[in-house]
């Protein structure tokens, strides 16, 4: 018998297709678990196979419906813990509530920390995630967090495109570090759009730091929901003389409003990942890259007690 516990991968209803693709990459079957709802909306979970002493990974992005998917994850974790799993790793490609990471107004919660506490209380022993909205969220957990980046997946695609004379643009000051990493990888220069948030769905781009005149532009950001930030950035970049405008977004939680804004914007192509399901209506305005191999390799290395750091390295 091998000393290493058998790997088991389960998923809720948030993104079954991604879990199946991860299992296909790892050549393991997707674990058998029933995840249903009672008529009153309560979630019911039953794991239909023996997982005693197994190394369990639960794949569940906490994308919309956020609260439903978060509760499914917590209940799946509790079921696995009570079934005597050897170790439970929550694989959360998109970590909901990540933007509520500080008290920026009086009498508001730090919900990202609450979610971290809930996951640990449920029985999560390790977290695997990708492109957190704020990297300091890793410190909200008192358990190991493996934080992956979509950059290598994006770079494989971008390197196949003719994006000469390129400027990488951060659509706000907070995204400069991420944009700088893309600029370095692509051998491009860097520019910043300064924005002002008016409401939860409205932002206003005020001016551009850097030269974009006559250049192709790649706007990079970790998340878009209403596409207000990136479409406003694209509009002011076009006004400043930018040529072809592309957007590379790690997590595209596209609402109907976002789809319409993207169609009406000067953005030539939105490039994103399948960290969350991209609805069929939104798929027409986005190029969706799979992160199944990235997450699958992260799971394999965690299971085999190997380093995941080399997953950040770009293949030349």
Angle formed at CA 61 by CA 26 and CA 97, multiple of 5 degrees: 150
Give the integer Cα–Cα distance in Å for 233 and 235. 5
- What is residue 19's three-state secondary structure? helix
Is 92:73 a contact under the CB 8 Å cutoff? yes
CA 70 to centroid of chain Cα atoms: 15
Alpha carbon dihedral 56, 61, 66, 72, in 10-degree steps, equals: -20
Can you state the angle between helices 66-82 and 111-122, rounded to 10 degrees? 30
Give the integer Cα–Cα distance in Å for 230 and 162. 21
Is 266:245 a contact under the CB 8 Å cutoff? yes
Alpha carbon dihedral 178, 181, 182, 184, in 10-degree steps, equals: 150
Active site residue ranges: 195
């Amino acid at each position: 018998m091998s000393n290493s516990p058998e790997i088991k991968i389960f998923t809720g209803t948030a993104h079954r297709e991604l879990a199946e693709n991860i299992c296909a990459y790892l050549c393991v079957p997707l674990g058998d678990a029933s995840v249903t709802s009672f008529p009153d909306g309560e979630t019911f979970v039953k794991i239909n196979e023996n997982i005693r002493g197994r190394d369990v990974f639960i794949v569940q992005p906490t994308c919309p419906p956020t609260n439903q998917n978060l509760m499914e994850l917590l209940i799946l974790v509790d079921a696995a813990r009570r079934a005597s799993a050897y170790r439970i790793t929550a694989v959360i490609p998109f970590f909901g509530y990540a933007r509520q990471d500080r008290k920026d107004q009086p009498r508001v919660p730090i919900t990202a920390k609450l979610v971290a506490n809930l996951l640990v209380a449920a029985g999560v022993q390790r977290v695997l995630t990708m492109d957190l909205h704020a990297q300091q969220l890793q410190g909200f957990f008192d358990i190991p967090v493996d934080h992956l980046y979509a950059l290598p997946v994006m770079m494989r695609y971008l390197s196949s495109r003719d994006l000469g004379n390129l400027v990488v643009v951060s659509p706000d000051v907070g995204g400069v570090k991420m944009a700088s990493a893309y600029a370095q990888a692509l051998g491009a220069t860097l520019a910043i759009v300064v924005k002002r948030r008016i409401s939860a769905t409205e932002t206003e781009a005020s001016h551009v730091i850097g030269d974009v005149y006559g250049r192709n532009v790649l706007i990079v950001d970790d998340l878009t929901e209403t596409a207000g930030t990136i479409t406003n950035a694209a509009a002011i970049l076009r006004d400043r003389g930018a040529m072809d405008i592309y957007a590379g977004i790690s997590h595209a939680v596209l609402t109907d409003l976002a789809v319409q804004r993207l169609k009406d914007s000067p953005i030539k192509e939105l490039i994103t990942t399948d960290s969350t399901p991209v609805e069929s209506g939104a798929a027409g305005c986005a190029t969706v890259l799979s992160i199944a191999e990235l997450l699958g390799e992260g799971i394999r290395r965690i299971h085999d007690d190997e380093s995941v750091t080399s997953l950040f390295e770009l293949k030349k």
